[in-house]
Structure 1
């Protein structure tokens, strides 16, 4: 069932500048909007809300729903394909679908393999998807990093250790997949940012912090990243917490360049939201009042 804003909260869509640290409020909404994607042609942001996909025009700041058919209600995991003509979408039935960006009939690409599939990455050549697989939809079990052909077919599990992983996203050159994982943590919920080669080798821890670090997103030029810090001891990625959106150089993940404090978490930064020129990115906050 689609989520709704908690009582007394509002939804705000923000654009933050990598170079200056300034931010701009571009939309306030009574709809629980989540997980912005930035269109490759710079024209719009795509977000989910009320079970559907929404397009936020960057010129007019107008919000309109993308007409989709043949797909259940959406969750907050969706990624634009290279070229921005299609979008891959995770739905509440645990499957991943593909649809034209302007809307229309959606096509399921995942198999009925007994798992829930949560999309996070599309390879730069558009041929492969990276998702989190949860066996039998049992969230007491750790999520697994799985890759699969973008057109459909069986998945290949990549070993990231015994802990839960989430947010797998391809680097712009395609060699690495970035993710958050609890495999390096010292206590329950202690997620840290890591990366692994797309062939499954070279698992490497990147952040070493006392916070729970989630959803690493690499800028299109590969030089910077944004991610989400939850308070220490946070298990999963719940909503409506005091969190921080952080930017770093991909050469130094443990020195923050800018930090924005807000109320959010779930929905704030689930998917890559960098602008095509790597100078800005979008996020969503859910303040009280």
Structure 2
């Protein structure tokens, strides 16, 4: 499966191909120094140099079944990853940002990392406990986990605003198609932020606190599958009419984790290609 790692520029509306790979790469996010990206591929984690387009494997110790839930801490010191080597189910670990020995954080599984709090003190993640999905928080150095929100529906893709006031997530709360929601970190005041028949996943607030970018599937899609015609959409941080930025072949792996550049003007995503297709940076749809 061919992958194209691409950067979208909000100011120009241009899409730039960073890397055309014959392999399947997933879930890109931005290193805190702004000079490189972090991507997952075949259970390993890599740094992608923006100047040379070279991939360098990050040392994750004994962890070699990493899924696409990973990301650097806001202070640039650490990396959170999700791996199932030790437990057989997704478990969250923290290791030095440059690579090194991982420390297990979640004792309960499955747990899928999705975000750091702005002060780098806590991790935010999706988990299943007693066969029920929920959004959880835990200190980044380990300790007791706390459920923020959960229930009989799917709760996934949490990310937090740069002021720490809202956790965004996607859910079928109210027996609706998967929509974007936000909730206070203490679990209060849940609010639905997108409406309609489309199936919305993986909201990511921008570092400047202005926008939220997310992945939108066609009506009737179940879960967040790979290999669909999807859209990358943008809405104001307080909600409003969504704007379609890019239409592409993608889905799972395209925009799973925090994806914004530190400057808040660009974000990174992965486009996939069928065997007969060439990698071409297309003009965005507006």
Taking structure 1 as the reference length, what is the TM-score of the superposition? 0.90
Which ranges in structure 2 are unaligned for 5 or more consecutive residues?
277-286
Please give the residue correspondences for 1:20-35 in structure 2 after superposition, counting only pairs within 5 Å. 20-35=12-27
Q: Does 1:148 align with 2:148?
A: no
- Aligned partner of 1:265 in structure 2 is 251
User: Which ranges of structure 1 fall in alignment gaps of 5 or more residues?
Assistant: none
Give the Cα separation in 1 of the matches to 2:11 and 2:152.
Answer: 38
Counterpart residue number, 1:118 = 112
Q: 1:196 to 1:95 in 2, by over 3 A?
A: same
Question: Is 1:177 matched with 2:164?
Answer: no
Q: How far does the alpha carbon of each residue in 1:11-56 deviate from its partner, in whole angstroms, 9 at most, with x for none?
A: 1101001122210111111221111111121110001101110110
How many aligned positions are there?
271
| Residue of 231, 241, 254 corresponding to 1:254 | 241
For 1:105, the equivalent position in structure 2 comes to 101
**Residue 85 of structure 1: how far off its partner (Å):** 2.1
Cα distance, 1:142 vs structure 2:
4.6
Matched, 1:79 2:75: no
Question: Aligned equivalents of 1:142 and 1:278: distance in 2?
Answer: 34
Cα deviation code 1:232-252 (max 9, x no counterpart): 111111101000011222133
CA–CA distance in structure 2, aligned partners of residues 214 and 123 of structure 1 = 20
Cα distance, 1:161 vs structure 2: 4.4
How far off is 1:162 after superposition? Answer: 3.0
Structure 1 residue 72 displacement after superposition: 3.9
Correspondence for 1:217: 204
Q: Are residue 95 (structure 1) and residue 91 (structure 2) matched?
A: yes
Pair 1:274-2:284 in alignment? no
Greater CA deviation, 64-73 or 204-213? Answer: 64-73
Residue aligning to 1:12: 4
Q: Contact 2:133–2:152 at 8 Å: present in 1 too?
A: no
**Structure 1 moving runs of 4+ over 4 Å:** none
* TM-score, with structure 2 as normaliser: 0.91
Q: 1:196 corresponds to which residue?
A: 183
User: Aligned partners of 2:240 and 2:81: how far apart in 1?
Assistant: 29
- In structure 2, relative to structure 1, the CA distance for the partners of 1:142 and 1:234 (3 Å cut) is farther
Matches of 1:145 and 1:252 in 2, distance apart? 21
